[in-house]
Amino acid sequence: MAFKSKIKWVALFVLVLSFASLLRHLSIAKYSTVDLVQYSALTAFHNDFDTLSGRQSIPNKKLWEPVKPLQSLQPYANPRSNYPVPNEQSNGFIYAKIFGGFSKIRTTICDLVTISRLLNATLVIPDIQESTRSKGISHRFKSFTYLYDEEQFIASLKNDIIIVKSLPDNLKAARKRNEYPSFRPKNSASPKFYMKEVLPKLKKAKVIGLVIADGGCLQSILPPGMAELQRLRCRVAFHALQFRPEIQILGHRMVERLRAWGQPFLAFHPGLLRETLAYHGCAELFQDVHTELIQYRRAQMIKRGIVHEELSIDSHLCRENGSCPLMPEEVGILLRAMGYPPKTIVYLAGSETFGGQRVLVPLRAMFPNLVDRTSLCSNKELLDILGPETPLPLNPFQPPPAKSEAQLKEEWKKAGPRPRPLPPPPGRPIYQHEKEGWYGWITETATEPDLSAVDLRMQAHRLIWDALDYIVSMEADTFFPGFNNDGSGWPDFSSLVMGHRLYETASSRTYRPDRKVVAELFNMTRDNVYHPKHNWTLSVQEHLKKSLGEEGLIRQSLLSKPGVFISHPLPECSCRISSAEVPVHVKGNDGQSVHGGEEECPKWMQHGQEVPLESAGEEDKVEDNELSEYGSTLVEQPESNDSDRTNTSLVFDQDDEMDPND
């Protein structure tokens, strides 16, 4: 009995202590003055980087260093021969309507200026249909000025062509009556076409119109005797086309906020666009309704004659051929294999990422500091840059009317012979998002509805978002494209950024991966993609390092330049300063220079810019001592079946966040 009594007292004592502890915690929770703080990406950055040993310390500095073999390349798009100023007595006026998004607009404007110079014509500021079609945008802007600085554009090209803001008053009425001849040139139109077909009608009518929807109106590669026209394209793309001041201010403010953390950052553009995925038949890389959306758009392209293949093709075969984009998960694995630590700041560029946030989840798990414009800008800043807009129509969404009691009784009577089944459960409410966009039509109708006023306005907004991303991508320490050189002939965002970075600072770190090679690498380790072997990691590093240098430039010249000149403006728009290394001169099958054909820079450019002697091929070598730079990222583990071999895996192999089954 005494033993049982002791147990009762001990149990009572434990209960009293538990009750006292509970009261203590409740009082702390009730009277605590600590407020809950909402998560902020910038606050997370601050906490992350404050934990680093010193804000100035940059891990793996070699991942951010300039590409030394390309340091001798300098931008030089000035005229180099007899280049007269434009004749005031031009042959007539050229006005144009430009259809398409950000990339198509930019390349088309470059072609329009070049054609105006070729035909000795006066160019009327072109109409950007993405902004004029979008009803309700700010009244402060008019088409071209919605995106670009009109005054800067006119002043910068005053020595090349004559540009006017509109047609003279005596010619406007005839344009409204469509009395002037118009053309719909393709992006492969030759100078001969303009000289023989367009110029005679221009001289006769004094005004012609161009309707351009292919992302250009002049072939990319011009005869060697037209090198000055190629340099004119560079002056337009890299000097004359400046975004309006509000966009530039906010874009550079975003860069300053990224730089404020004292760490370099990498810009990544996925290139996941619905039109591009449909053109190349990459539907099977997605799931559920996204596959249906891609296939529907592909069927439209086949009907219009844009695509000449079958509707259903093997998407995985297209991926192995390099026709499909790298998925964000694959890009994250490549960057980690290169040695980029998890705390690397990755800026996500692109106004549209087909597949939404779901396709970005693996990349965000590998790089938690993945940000975009919404992370760096407040809603007020993004709204201010759009200007005052007219209000959209009232919300047209109406839930289905509720059935009356009489209707329910009538349905019950018509339910069929007895014994009747139990009545169906009450219908769940229909939410608004289920009737907006593609949610509302893909499951109900076989035809995609016309764009609504909201859709048209969003198209105009995407021009602004792409412009902001373009500025950040240009200023990034490293740029990685998810999709470029797709072979469609259409310009893409990544190619334009890569061409501009090559022109401005050729030695900046811009990866140019071969998607076919990358697909082969992933096929080698598909079952152990999160636990790669040491040799696989070295193969990734070797390929990506080669893509940074001359080998990547040669491939870029062969694949990208035939489609869009400003995506690879070498050698026409560059020169080389004195260098101890002599670049390899490579020519194509047509005899034109592919790489290494740049002229020597003028003496005024070479002063103080001599490139020091560097060991040949230093950027392309993967040496053991260099792997020590990745000591914080790579961990070697012994193989179980062979004691002489080692296995290198990434540190995120042991990270719970990186578990693919998590």
Q: What domains, with CATH codes, occur in the chain?
A: 93-242 (3.40.50), 246-388+454-603 (no CATH)
CA neighbor of 326 nearest in space, from 274, 272, 267 = 272
Alpha-carbon torsion, ordered 349, 355, 359, 360, to 10 deg? 30
- The residue assigned the tokens 């680093």 is 52
What's the pLDDT tens digit per position in 21-61? 777 776 765 554 434 333 344 444 444 444 443 444 566 78
Residue length of the chain? 662
DSSP state letters, 491-524: --HHHHHHHHHHHH-TTSEE----HHHHHHHHHH
In the chain, what's the furthest Cα-to-Cα distance?
122
Helix axes 102-119, 227-235, angle to 10 degrees: 130
DSSP string, 394-437: P----PPPPPPHHHHHHHHHTS-SSSPPPPPPPPPPPPGGGSSG
Q: Give the pLDDT confidence score for residue 419 in this predicted structure.
A: 65
CA dist 41 and 371 (Å) reads: 7
Q: For residue 348, give the 3-state DSSP assignment.
A: strand
Q: Is 577 helix (H, G, I), strand (E, B) or coil?
A: coil
Cis peptide leading into 69, omega within 30 of 0?
A: no
- For position 659, what pLDDT does the model report? 35
Answer whether 60's CB lies under 8 Å from 340's CB.
yes
Looking at residue 143, its pLDDT comes to 87
Cβ–Cβ under 8 Å, residues 134 and 213: no
Q: Report helix, strand or coil for 603.
A: helix
| DSSP-H helix ranges across 341-404 | 361-366, 373-376, 379-386
Quick check: 67 and 548 in contact, CB under 8 A? yes
pLDDT of residue 51: 45
Query: SS3 for 139-192, per residue?
Result: CCCCHHHHCECHHHHHHHCCCCCCEECCCCHHHHHHHHCCCCCEECCCCCCCHH
219 vs 111: CA distance, rounded Å: 9
Instruction: Output the pTM of the full model.
Output: 0.81
Count of helices and strands (H, E) across the chain: 25, 18
- 10-residue averages of pLDDT along the chain (662 residues): 69 79 70 42 48 53 89 90 85 94 94 95 93 75 91 95 92 88 92 94 94 91 91 96 96 95 94 90 84 89 89 89 92 94 94 87 94 93 89 66 82 71 62 58 72 84 95 96 81 94 94 94 85 90 93 88 91 83 68 75 68 40 38 36 35 34 34
DSSP H/E element including 548 = helix 534-548
Q: Which residue has the tokens 């009244």?
A: 139
Specify the pLDDT at position 517: 94
Calpha distance 366→335 (Å, rounded): 9
Say if CB 261 and CB 51 are below 8 A apart.
Answer: no
- State the pLDDT at residue 340: 94
Cα separation of 357 and 270, whole Å? 12
CA distance 658 to 662: 8
